[in-house]
Structure 1
Amino acid sequence: MFDDFLASDLSEVEQAVRAAAAAEIMPRYRQLAAHEIVEKKGPHDLVTTADRQAEEHLTASLTALLPGSVVVGEEGVHADPGLLAHLGGDAPVWIVDPVDGTRQFVHGDAGFATLVALAHHGELLASWTYAPAQDLMAVARRGRGAFLDGVPLRAGAPEPGKPLEVAISHYDFTTDHEKRALAGLRTDGVAPRPCGSAGLEYLNIARGRLDAIAFTWENAWDHAAGLLLVAEAGGGSATLSGEPYRIAGGNALPFTAARNEATVRHILGLLAAAG
């Protein structure tokens, strides 16, 4: 059953992602009431009714498409951290961030996305990055490339002689050690800036509009879809130890993704030297 599912065109997954956004997210876009917004860990860590309802919608539709699969989603894990064990389990797992960039969504900004990735035994197999307010759908499949609205994506290489544009974690979510490491990017030849929606920053790398990211948190729902998208667009990624990012966690942080392997190595060198 699983092999047959992977051999299909997976267009039903894209339809499920679009349907969840149309039913649960976009009707609330710029229409949220105060009681529909809740702080989780602070003013930069928000959850809304749209997040919860969209994840419930996706959980039902994705597991129906692939019987025997499980969902590990941001809101589900917040309620039951034990769900994280599925990332290292035997069942196919859907990794879901219903509204990546909730802060932007709350403020009426279009820079948010719905992220879905399919993994098995720790390997990323397919991903969907959908920005409903911008009507952008990026899809990646392991070994088959990355596409934005059907057009192939190629990350390319940074422009020689131009400072590297790097999106970095918000300092409110970093330890002292991570702050020191990220400070290594404040150097000649690098132009760091705060990140927006992680999923859309990965899309920017895959499109060649951003040179790299450096993130200090490892939640799989923020990174799984984008890491496969970047890889299939020709980019690379690695953790501070030089190892691949593991969706089940335990990664050496910060980690980076970039338009090419040379940039990955350069960013890691700067992070390691400063940290």
Structure 2
Amino acid sequence: MSDNQPENIIGGKSFTAVAVNCASKAGEWIKSKMGSFTQLDTKYSMHDLVTEVDKGSERMIRNLIGTHFPHHSFLGEEGVEPGPEASAKALMDMSDSEYLWIVDPIDGTTNYVHGFPFFSVSIALAYRGQVIVGVVYDPSRDEMFVAERGKGAYVRGRKIQVSEENTLSQSLIATGFPADHHIALPANMKGIQALAPKVRNLRIAGSAALHLAYVAAGRLSGFWEYNLSSWDIAAGSLLVEEAGGRLSDLNGETYHIGIRNVSASNGLIHEELLEELELAKASQ
């Protein structure tokens, strides 16, 4: 095993197969609970919601991964205190982990709460800080997006690739509304105002992981959002990369798991997207 290319199987268990199995089981369970949760709480802001289903999904995933890989580290959204400082600290505390599973048990909880069918289970595995497996599962459509470093990206077993639009004017772009209303949301609103007249259209559907999967599948030309956490981005980042796209922060720095302000695209429109956000003074 080299430093940069770990084997994807330990003790006969494939990392990717375990990630897919966890996402499938958790997704099936959260779909079965839709509309029947009993406890709804807010975390960082009134827009940052959590239910007992989020927590139950994370426990299920943690336990399943722990059964196969008991010595691996685990970073899940519901095990971290709310807010950007806490999520950054949690990631820093695990920065020395050889294998780190990074999990969002329901990405798009607000959609889930309202019965809007755009939410997902996001599971990534990082080896020495680099994502090597990424799985995003959409239980509403039964779409499993899977990427393994160096082996491409797939949905329902079919290889996917990013779109071919080469200008913003041809592009369908997505973004999100950050939970931070003091800095991130005003900055993002400037970006929306600047980009809306220059793109084919904008979409704001409420799951960063699924937005990234859609960039990978060529359904979106690009995506940007502020103040995300590693569990929002990690799995989708590998999907985009393995489908031929590009990820960076909003200043153009190459993606790593600590990045919070992210831009993803088919690569062809990336510089133009970053330039427009900079002109709008939307980048931080």
TM-score (normalised: structure 2): 0.85
Quick one: which amino acid aligns to residue 54 of structure 2? D
Paired residues of 1:47 and 1:102 also in contact (CA < 8 A) = yes
Matches within 5 A, 1:92-241: 92-158=99-165, 162-170=169-177, 173=180, 174-189=184-199, 191-241=201-251
Specify the alignment match of 1:19 in structure 2.
25
C-alpha deviation, 1:197, in angstroms: 1.0
Distance 2:92 2:248 in 1: 23
Q: Deviations over 1:111-145 (max 9, x none)?
A: 11000000022211001111112211110001100
Corresponding residue for 1:90? 97
Higher helix share: 1
Q: CA deviation at 1:195?
A: 3.8
**Cα distance, 1:31 vs. partner?**
1.8
- Identity of matched residues, %: 29
Cα 1:4–1:201, aligned 2, differ >3 Å: closer, same or farther? closer
Which structure 2 residue ranges, 5 or more long, are not aligned? none
Q: 1:29 to 1:231 in 2, by over 3 A?
A: same
Q: Check 1:88–1:222 CA distance in 2 against 1; reply closer, same or farther (3 A cut).
A: same
CA–CA distance in structure 1, aligned partners of residues 275 and 115 of structure 2: 37
Instruction: Tell me by how many angstroms 1:105 deviates.
Output: 0.6
Structure 1 residues 195 and 69, CA gap change in structure 2 (3 angstroms): same
| 2:64 aligned partner | 61
Aligned residues: 268
The answer on whether the counterparts of 1:76 and 1:83 sit within 8 Å (CA) in structure 2 is no
Q: Alpha-carbon deviations, 1:226-274, whole Å to 9, x = none?
A: 111011111111112211122134x5x4x31012x22111101111122
Q: Structure 1 CA distance, aligned partners of 2:158 and 2:228? A: 29
Change (3 A) 1:156 1:215: same
Structure 1 gap segments, 5+ residues each: none
Name the structure 1 match of 2:34.
Answer: 29
CA shift for structure 1 position 164:
1.9
User: Are 1:113 and 1:197, in contact at CA under 8 Å, matched by a contact in 2?
Assistant: yes
Q: State TM-score, norm by structure 1.
A: 0.88
Q: Give the C-alpha shift of residue 12 in structure 1.
A: 2.8
Structure 1 moving runs of 4+ over 6 Å: none
Deviation at 1:208, TM superposition (A): 1.2
Q: 1:111 to 1:145 in 2, by over 3 A?
A: same
Amino acid at match of 1:57: M
CA distance in 2, matches of 1:13, 1:211: 27
Contact persistence 2:152–2:242 (CA under 8 A): yes
AA matched with 1:54: S
Cα distance 1:208–1:273, how it changes in 2: closer, same or farther (>3 A)?
same
Q: Secondary structure at the match of 1:78?
A: coil
- The aligned residue for residue 257 of structure 1 is 264
**Closer, same or farther in 2 for the Cα pair 1:200/1:22, shift >3 Å?**
same
Q: In angstroms, what is the RMSD of aligned CA positions?
A: 2.4
CA 270–160 in structure 1, closer or farther in 2 if over 3 Å, else same? closer
